[in-house]
Structure 1
Amino acid sequence: MKLRHFSYLGIAGIICLLCSESVQAQEKENLVQINLNSENIVSQAETKAKVPVTQIPQIRDIQRPHTTAKDLLAQQQNQVILVTGVNLNTSENSFEVILETSNPKQLQAVAKSEGNNFIVDIPNAQLKLNTGELFRQEKPIAGITDVVVTNQDANTIRIMVTGETGLPKVELYESDKGLIFVATPVTTSTQQPQTPDKPPANTTEQGEEPPIELVVTGTIFEVPIEDTPQSIQVVPREVLENRGVVRLDEFTDNVSGVQRITGGDGFGTSGFIIRGFSDQFENLRNGFRSQGGFPRDLANIDRVEVLKGPAAALYGGGFQSGVVNILTKKPLEEPSYEVKATVGSFDFYRGEVDLTGPLVENQSLLYRLNVAYQDQGSFRDFLNYKNFFIAPSLTWNIGPRTTLSFDYEYVDADYSDDQIFPAEPEFLQISPKTYLGEPDLASERFTAHSLVLGFSHEFSDNWQYRLGFNTLWQDVFDEGVIESGGLQADRRTLNREFQRRTNDLENLTLRNEILGKFNTGSVKHNLLFGVEYSRLEYAYKFSGAPIAPIDIFNPIYGARPTEALSLSFNEAYGNDTLGIYLQDIAEVLPSLKIVAGVRFDNVDGFYEDRETNTSFNEVSDSQFSPRLGIVYQPSDTTTLYASWSNSFTPQVFGRNSSGEPFEPVTSEQLEVGIRQELFDKKLLAGLALYQITRENVATTDPNSDDFFDRIQTGEQRSRGVELDINGEILPGWNIIATYAYTDAQVTEDNLIPVGDRLPNAPYNSASLWTTYEIQSGNLQGLGAGLGIVYVGERQGGLPNTVTVPSYVRTDAALFYRRRQFEARLNFKNLFDIDYYDANDFSSINPQEPFTVIGSFSYKF
């Protein structure tokens, strides 16, 4: 069965590869040059309404150049033209940059792009301003983070426009005063980046190029956020850096309704609780499933997307309340080299290197290399962590419509096992620094490899084929883990067990997709069809022995196992999944869109004892996961939406009291929301109301005396309201504000009291992060940030055994950035409060006290 699945997918891939080769034979590479001497130029003085001289092609429309800007200058042999002034004028939705010169018609321009940066080089001009050789304006309008005009070299002016969430749209005009660049921001969307060298789109009957929609994020389907009937938040790398984030899970402070699943101090985890429900440690990395719960380095992370609500319609089983998608950095066309050093409290030391650029002269082969090393102590007694990370990636633009990519990651972490506290009230009374293991016994080693291969070919402007392959394998060896048991009758002596554990995980995915745009009458369709095969295998081996208990209020260390180790578990579980999915966004009217999708999954799961070589639980489930939504946009600043979606999670573990395999746990969500742009589109506010009901939750069989006999009669429900606001209040003053009300509780169960709250799901949580950066003058680039995080009372486990107290944490930042370098100081937990996080396996975890993090980076 497994081989047959691979065969079908492989045949489909080979057919598309052959088709792409035939098309590639007809492709030619051309330099994108904007010649302002063209006879087609319409002067601004000749018409009242601005007519584009020519639209600079966006990244996917740029033909791959054979020469550099310097080569072009040598070929043209034009006189160097002086630009004596730079003016910037803003309007509601766009802005224009005017390069003042007496010879505008002799200027030539070469367009390129890297990430969210649209770059125009003028290789026969030089900037001569009274204020120097640099013009810079940050946040000229909402959606644009930076505009820079500077001398690239002795003969070249460079104009760089940086979009906040996507590549800006740029057009050129000519006037009597000079050359005018008009820039418009493009809204972030949820599509994978398009091939950066697609030929120009077909022109309209009037001869003008139609506007080209650009989408920039890494999830599976091609749709702008404003056309999505669900709540979506994006945390860009700039926010992570401004906040001094050193652990991936810290991004949750800037997203409403999301809490992290804590697994101890140090590198943190990548497991999350979304809208009150936990999907354990599974999330997405570049759109592919990735097991969390283990160290994840920040060096190559570009941004984090949070898509709320059941996600099985696109991603298959799991993700019952939402999904976190981590997007990594990609190779750039322009060479860039950056080094960064970070030091901080508790012996924190970290170094990073980020290198990128072309490997060949025509820029068809690009590379990126991220390397990081980290060595840190901890505010917890006896804990230390070391981590090495390397991530090379390549992008090969085989032709104007064909791209092949390669991404690899390697993590090697060596750290002390961190003993989180059991969810009992007594553990809130001891010092947060207390360590409950044995310092000289606890040692863990984690290694992980991740490989992603991607192939994309565009048959035409409207049809595209994508092939993706992802594999992840990771190993964990725990040399000596002290597992906490329950407290004895004196409520201060903690029972413990010594364990030695190994964990091995392998996960692979092969995905084939066809994307197409077409019309049926007046209705426009955006279609996705995909076939995906995935395999997960997780093997673990535990051995244990008794060890002396410890006094949690007065710990004394030095205990050793009192018996020889005995095998506890040598087991493995996993599944093979074949999924087929179809989704369409139908534009019935320009202001009305309907989203409909469905996925069918066939899951074959196994659970085996490798010590006896027996399989004691095999399940086979088939499930449809539908999704339906509607989007109404009464104006270009307002979006209303409503959606209904389902998800499921196969149950590999256990059987019911009758010996039958469990049915999948299912969830259903209803959501309505509004997205509103405010203050001339400088602020974006999103408000969502939802209800998620999870059914078929396994609970104790009331007709059996055996606690482990289970039946699926449990139900859990989450209702809530979420508010997210982000944008610019004034030039240089940015804000991210969130609020969430989450009512997540047990609604049916045979053991857990109905009404018990789900772990680590506070009724109320809110956050504010704001920064201000001086925009001009001698102190330009100097800025400060202030953050406040509030989390209400939570429960530490199910059944509810301990209430984790609420807290208000304050953070602050100072930074200075000028041209190539940036220096930053971050102050976390400014008032040194004691606070705790919880998780869904009945434990609580103390968080860091007052901490200072300093960093310095330089680009060259």
Structure 2
Amino acid sequence: MKKHRTKAAIIEKRLRLKAIVLSGLLLGQTPLLLADNKQQHFTISQGQLSSVLNHFASKAGILLSADASLTRGLESDGLVGDYTTEQGLTRLLNNTGLRFTKDENNNYILQAKPTLPTQTAIELPSNNVSLDTMMVLGTPQFRYDSRQVETGNRMAKDLTEVPRSVDIIPEQLLLDSQAREMEDVYKLAPNVVNSDGYGGTREDYLIRGFRRPSDIYRNGVRLKLTRRIDPATVDNIQILKGPVADIGQMMPGGLVNIITKKPQLESENHLSTSFDEHGQRRAVFDSTGAIADSDNFAYRVTGSWEDSDTFRDNSSVDRRFLSSSLSWFGDTGGYANINYEYSREKRSLDRGVFTVPTTNGKRRLIDVSRDLRYDADFSFNEVESHLIEIDTSSPLADSGWSIDTKLFYNRERSDDTYVDVSRVAPDSPVSALPTGTLVRRVQGNRDRKLDTFFARVQTTGDFTFGVPMTIATGAEYFQQKEAWTNFVGAFQIGGTVTNPGSLSIVDDSSTPSREDKRDVTLESYGPYAQLDIKPFDDVTVTLGLREEYYSSDYSQQAVINSTAASIDVPRESKFTKSVGLVWNVVPDLSLYSSYADTFSAQNIYTGNATTAVLSPQQGRQYEVGTKWATLNDKLLLTLAYFDIKQTNVVETVNGEPELTGGIDSKGMEFSLTGNPLPGWNIRAALGLLDAEIVSEDTDTNGNRPRNVPEKTASLWSSYEFQGLDNPLSGFGIGGGISHVGNRYGDSEHSFELGDYTLVDAGIWYYFPSMGSSTLRVDLGVKNITDEEYYTASGGDYRISVGSTRTVFGGLRLDF
């Protein structure tokens, strides 16, 4: 993405030339492939030429500057269709008397066409230049833009063209809020909350009442991780609501897809550091640009270092991350990118606090200090990973068709050891112990090997079969191999709720009471297709389908008594389908509806007498909604209603696994994003959810699922002062409030987690340019009211504790 340093440097250059920057044109959003010669789909309505160019620059991801007088009074018919950047600009400037050129940094400059044979450029005014509304210092608006959907679409589309809800969180919001992890900004999306995350060491979330533990999508690839995603690599986070038939196996609530940073031809570099009162110490660097002033080759290198403490006692994060990419941009639209990532992290595995029994089968959360831990100083999750990703795109001559490919491999090696509270007196069977006495044991996994391989080939193009159509069709292959040794130590009795340290836990992981070696292989493949049909100019029908073949192998061997079990799941297939409709009632207002179904293969379940291979979970969703882009496309409002049903959820009945469970979820979502005024950005969201368990178990049937609130709400807004003559130019302020409703900690509703409201605020200042560099200084407070809250429950003895009030700071140098 383009950075504020580049903007400031370009503006400074224009000032030396006594030119001005066209208000609002220094916008840009990273396009799908970050290349001037990569075709994109544009849908830009007619209007003033300045507004149309503004929209085009934002969509194409370019820096475009001009004398403001050049476009004054000019109108444009807009732009609809697939064009490269230069093709689109040429079409927009046709019959305007204007042309464009490119400078040495690959930025675009508008000029008047010569009227005399010897004239080669416009004559710039020499004095008394009116600078209109432009920002010499500050954050470029494009860094907040969040309209291009790359998730759940085989073809890149604007958010208003997609028949479903998608929440896009740009990197700038992570920076403004000083997010330590991606989960810190999930709260900006309606009906999205965090889950347990294996003691806070993995990505874990619920969308519309459905959980997908461990799995996250990275550039469209499903990826199981035993670690966190480093925010340094994030360009934007796209949260897709509901299932997508042509993606394949997924939970019906939706998915989170991380779009990573890519190389770009324009040079930019930054260094940043962040810190807080609890001991966070983190540094990030990012550098990208053309290789040897090439128009075809670009690089990007991103890295981070972290050695941090948290608000919890003896809790730390030690992380190293490096990502390097090389891209080739062909002269005729070809593209190739290769990316290598290395990550190593060691972080405390913290099971949080727990509950104690009360009466009538109910439980309550213990009342202790939020920083108190019940494990030992050897409780860690340590992971090392290597990732390789190769993307190519090849246009087929001038046909408008292309062939795209992706190869992906991720290798993880990890070990984890933690201390679990197993019982607390007077829980059964330790009711005879003094009240509050703890029973704990050491558990974990060693020598975990997790390998993921993914391949895709896809062709995309336009054709006419009675009506215009666009199709993307291809095939994908996915394989995941995982092998590890699981161990459980002996029960260790001692310590109390208020003084757990009175017993020193012994690390008996080398002499466990139980130890199993496990091996799981998952494999799936199949063809898919997505088809856009335009029966009318203002109506688009989107069809999706996939036939997925899947199989798995499972083996388990007890190390101590040498018993073994294995099972191979025979290859089966599942057909999934979707249909969506978008109707542009008027240019700025669209109505949409969609249906999609999906499935998820079951794990291997072992009962008292059988080992079962069960039919996959199934899910479907109906969704209707409206999207309204108002204030000259500066504000987007989305309203959606959805109805989701999941079936074939495994329950244990009389000691045996059966397909008797499910979840029904329906609700509404409202979201608002945009920049209604120069320098002002706003995001607001409201989610209402009615989810219930469907079960033959009368203790859970009709109950709300664990960790699922009935309502979520959030508001984030920031403002940066504008104008050369404003003494506060370069100063920004931002703040937000988020609310999560009451949640139950288990399916039986034996205890509640409660609701919570968090208030955050921050200020920042861009110091005046130092040559071609700018420095931004941040200061802020998270959880200003010091709200006591719990983020999620992993069970009676695994309750994640929310962070205390935290003062943070940061520095960022762009050069």
Q: Same fold per TM (> 0.5)?
A: yes
Equivalent residue of 1:794, what SS? coil
Q: 1:848 aligns with which of 773, 782, 803?
A: 803
User: CA–CA distance in 2 between the matches of 1:469 and 1:575?
Assistant: 18
Q: Between 556-565 and 54-63, report the one with greater CA deviation.
A: 54-63
Deviations 1:259-309 (A, max 9, x none): 12233787x632210000002121211111122452221112110111100
- What is the alpha-carbon distance in structure 2 between the residues aligned to residue 349 and residue 624 of structure 1? 49
Answer yes or no: is 1:803 the counterpart of 2:752. yes
Match of 1:640 among 591, 608, 612: 591
Q: Pick closer, same or farther for the CA change 1:89–1:791 going to 2, 3 Å.
A: farther
- By how many angstroms is 1:233 displaced? 1.2
1:268-667 → structure 2 map (5 Å cutoff): 269-292=202-225, 294-311=227-244, 313-422=245-354, 425-439=363-377, 441-459=378-396, 460-478=398-416, 480-489=417-426, 492-502=436-446, 503-521=448-466, 523-546=467-490, 547-556=492-501, 557-560=503-506, 564-610=511-557, 614-654=565-605, 660-667=612-619
Query: Is 1:831 equivalent to 2:785 in the alignment?
Result: yes
Is contact 1:263–1:293 with CA below 8 Å preserved after alignment? no
Q: Distance in 2 between matches of 1:345 and 1:772?
A: 25
Partners of 1:805 and 1:603 lie apart in 2 by: 40
Residue 617 of structure 1 and its aligned partner are, at CA, apart by 4.6
Given the alignment, which residue of 608, 612, 630 partners 1:678?
Answer: 630
Q: Deviation per CA, 1:496-521, whole angstroms, max 9, x where unpaired?
A: 11134222211110111011111122
Native 8 Å contact 1:700 1:710 kept in 2: yes
Contact 1:466 1:514 in 2 (8 A): yes
CA deviation string 1:701-732 (max 9, x = no partner): 2xx3xx2x111011211111111111123332
Distance 1:436 1:55 in 2: 56
1:205-216 correspondence to structure 2 within 5 Å: none
Deviations 1:799-833 (A, max 9, x none): 32320111111100101125522111121001111
Distance 2:99 2:573 in 1: 63
Distance 2:99 2:544 in 1: 50
Q: Secondary structure at the match of 2:605?
A: coil
Q: Does 1:821 align with 2:755?
A: no
Does the Cα contact within 8 Å between 2:188 and 2:683 map onto a contact in 1?
yes
| CA shift for structure 1 position 488 | 2.3
1:754 and 2:704 aligned: no
Deviation at 1:616, TM superposition (A): 2.8
Cα distance in 1 for partners of 2:61, 2:737 equals: 44
Note if contact 1:436-1:550 (Cα within 8 Å) is conserved in structure 2.
no
Hey, what's the Cα distance between the residues in 2 that align with 1:473 and 1:779? 49
**Do the aligned partners of 1:699 and 1:751 also contact (CA within 8 Å) in 2?**
no
The answer to whether the Cα contact below 8 Å between 1:792 and 1:806 also exists between their aligned partners in 2 is yes
Cα distance in structure 2, aligned partners of 1:752 and 1:281: 28
| 1:325 to 1:89, Cα distance in 2 relative to 1, 3 A | farther
For the pair 1:692 / 2:630, whether they are aligned, the reply is no
Residue 794 (structure 1) aligns with: 743
Letter in 2 for 1:830: I
The DSSP-based 3-state class of the residue aligned with 1:253 is helix
Change (3 A) 1:84 1:234: closer
Aligned residues of 1:674 and 1:686 also touching (Cα < 8 A): yes
Q: Is the 8 A contact 1:388 1:412 kept in 2?
A: yes
Whether the 8 Å contact between 1:271 and 1:292 is mirrored in structure 2 is no
Q: 1:353 deviation in Å?
A: 0.9
- 1:5-154 mapped onto 2 (5 Å cutoff): 109-110=101-102, 137=134, 146=140
Number of equivalent positions: 715
Note closer, same or farther for the CA distance 1:830–1:350 as it changes in structure 2 (3 Å cut): same
679-688 vs 362-371, which deviates more? 679-688
State the SS of the aligned residue for 2:174.
Answer: helix
Q: Deviations over 1:158-187 (max 9, x none)?
A: xxxx58548xxxxxxxxxxxxxxxxxxxxx
Gaps of 5+ in 1: 1-30, 33-47, 64-68, 70-82, 96-103, 148-161, 167-187, 192-216
* Counterpart Cα distance in 2 of 1:630 and 1:747: 30
Moved more, 614-623 or 281-290: 614-623
Q: 2:169 aligns with which of 235, 240, 255?
A: 235
1:257 corresponds to which of 179, 191, 200: 191
TM-score norm. by structure 2 comes to 0.80
Provide the C-alpha distance between the structure 2 equivalents of 1:852 and 1:224, rounded to a whole number of angstroms: 37
Shift of 1:62: 13
The 8 Å contact of residues 795 and 838 in structure 1, kept in 2 or not, is answered as: no
Name the SS of the counterpart of 1:241 in structure 2: helix
**In structure 1, what residue type is equivalent to 2:649?**
V
- Match status 1:745 vs 2:689: no
Q: For the structure 1 residues 554 and 623, does the alpha-carbon distance in structure 2 shift closer, same or farther, using more than 3 Å as the test?
A: same
Structure 1 residues 85 and 520, CA, compared in 2 at 3 Å: closer, same or farther?
Answer: closer
The aligned residue for residue 731 of structure 1 is: 678
TM-aligned CA deviation for residue 428 of structure 1: 4.1
Q: CA RMSD in A?
A: 3.7
Residue 251 of structure 1 aligns to a residue in which SS? helix
Question: For residue 16 of structure 1, what is the aligned residue in structure 2?
Answer: none
Residues 791 and 770 of structure 1, relative CA distance in 2, 3 Å threshold: same
Task: Summarize the Cα distance change of 1:283–1:52 in structure 2 as closer, same or farther, 3 Å threshold.
Answer: closer
Quick one: structure 1 residues 91 and 845, their matched pair in 2 at CA, closer, same or farther if it must change by over 3 Å? Answer: farther
Q: Distance in 2 between matches of 1:91 and 1:420?
A: 62
Question: Once structures 1 and 2 are overlaid, which stretch shifts more, 49-58 or 278-287?
Answer: 49-58
1:821-860 per-residue CA deviation (whole Å, 9 max, x = no partner) reads 2111121001111111114555321111111221111111
Q: Determine if the alignment matches structure 1 residue 857 to structure 2 residue 806.
A: no
Residue 757 of structure 1 aligns to a residue whose secondary structure is coil
The answer to whether structure 1 residue 189 and structure 2 residue 148 are counterparts is yes
Is the deviation greater in 374-383 or in 442-451? 442-451
TM-score normalized by structure 1?
0.76
Give per-residue Cα distances to partners, 1:508-550, cap 9 Å, x unaligned.
10111011111122x1111011101110112221223223343
Cα offsets for 1:601-633 (capped at 9, x unmatched): 110111112556752352433101110111111
Conserved 8 A contact 1:655-1:662: no
Residue 417 of structure 1: how far off its partner (Å): 2.5
Farther off after superposition, 353-362 or 300-309: 353-362
Q: Is the 8 A contact 1:512 1:531 kept in 2?
A: yes
Report SS of the residue matched to 1:795. coil
Once the two structures are TM-superposed, the CA of residue 660 in structure 1 deviates from its matched residue by 4.9
- Cα distance in structure 2, aligned partners of 1:418 and 1:92: 60
Q: Percent identity?
A: 23
The AA in structure 2 aligned to 1:764 is K
Q: Deviations over 1:83-110 (max 9, x none)?
A: 9987996999999xxxxxxxx9999722
- Aligned residue in 1 for 2:27: none
Residue 98 of structure 1: aligned partner: none
Task: Give, in angstroms, the shift of residue 130 of structure 1.
Answer: 5.8
